[in-house]
Amino acid sequence: MATLDVAAEPSAEQRRFDEIIAADSRIEPRDWMPDAYRRALIRQIGQHAHSEIIGMQPEGNWITRAPSLKRKAILMAKVQDEAGHGLYLYSAAQTLGITRDEMTMQLIEGKAKYSSIFNYPTPTWADMGAIGWLVDGAAICNQVPLCRASYGPYGRAMIRICKEESFHQRQGFEILLALMQGSDAQREMAQDAVNRWYWPSLMMFGPPDGDSPNSAQSMAWNIKRFSNDELRQRFIGMLVPQAEALGIALPDPELHFDEKTQQYVGGEIDWTEFFEVLGGNGPMNVERLRARREAHEDGAWVREAAAEYARKKATRNSKEAA
Ligand SMILES: [Fe+2]
Ligand SMILES: [Fe+2]
């Protein structure tokens, strides 16, 4: 039937969008985009922003107890960078038509996700090393390809973020290196932290490819460039020589070099743990949200003062202009 043919024909706007994606070019905020693309980006960028902000907590826990002034200064700078990453990303998401307030409420009401990795505790100083080396390291592997994401504001935010993430990874490596060159107790502490963070860091790449519902569409839209398993594999390959340089063991007895594929291959990941933590049953889920909610409430007066200042300034400007 003719009417059906007309319905199946993509609109001029949709064709233009498809052309931009096919040319591997960028979609900008004022361009038309399909609703599903907009929703997928709001979800992904929002989750990413929340992860940066919640991710400040496990490390913020050690700022007052850093072992030296130098370590304290570095850790403060690192945690502050994460706040900055959250802000760039909230701004990128806002260009898609959601407000910062809406996103904040989704987070503190427990309706939005953030990376499960931040629901683990940080009991020792060596956790600062393991987080920088493994968690920021995994973040880099995930995020470098996002610098080419098809949505302009997201890709541009990622370029700046990745530069800072590589500093974060090196500072984590350097903390572990100092511990590994120290006493037996320090070496044990470093190894223990790596034992606890290694598997969760591999889970940061998300479920195996066969089990990852949004991946195929994200790849078709040029948001995602590599599959979860490809990125995880790349990360393991990056870690092995670094672990050797540190003299630290990666806690996977099955990890070996496969001559055929010329890649390091590891043992099976325990996904039941991943889904437990994702489902809110991780050791720190409740605490992380409680702390975020409290910080939001404690910050109310700052938001009010800033809004009042902006209002006065606007009135003054309009009087001067008159
Ligand atoms: Fe970050
Ligand atoms: Fe980072």
C-alpha 93 to ligand 1 mean position (Å): 16
| Residue 61 φ/ψ, nearest 5 degrees | -50, -25
Residue ranges of E strands in 167-313: 256-258, 263-265
C-alpha 230 to ligand 2 mean position (Å): 21
Tell me the pTM.
0.90
C-alpha 165 to ligand 1 mean position (Å): 6
Structure tokens belonging to residue 203: 């889970």
C-alpha 241 to ligand 2 mean position (Å): 21
> What is the b/e burial string over 160-182, where b = at least 16 CB atoms within 10 angstroms of the residue's CB?
ebbebbeebbebbbebbbebbee
C-alpha 140 to ligand 2 mean position (Å): 8
Of all ligands present, the nearest one to the C-alpha of 86 is 1
C-alpha 308 to ligand 1 mean position (Å): 31
Polymer length in residues for the chain: 322
Protein residues placing their CB within 5 Å of the ion ligand 2: 136, 165, 168
Each of the 322 residues of the chain gets a pLDDT tens digit; together they read: 444 555 578 899 999 999 999 999 999 999 999 999 999 999 999 999 999 999 999 999 999 999 999 999 999 999 999 999 999 999 999 999 999 999 999 999 999 999 989 999 999 999 999 999 999 999 999 999 999 999 999 999 999 999 999 999 999 999 999 999 999 999 999 999 999 999 999 999 988 888 777 788 888 888 888 899 999 999 999 999 999 999 999 999 999 999 998 999 999 999 888 888 877 788 888 999 999 999 999 999 999 999 999 999 999 988 888 7
C-alpha 9 to ligand 2 mean position (Å): 45
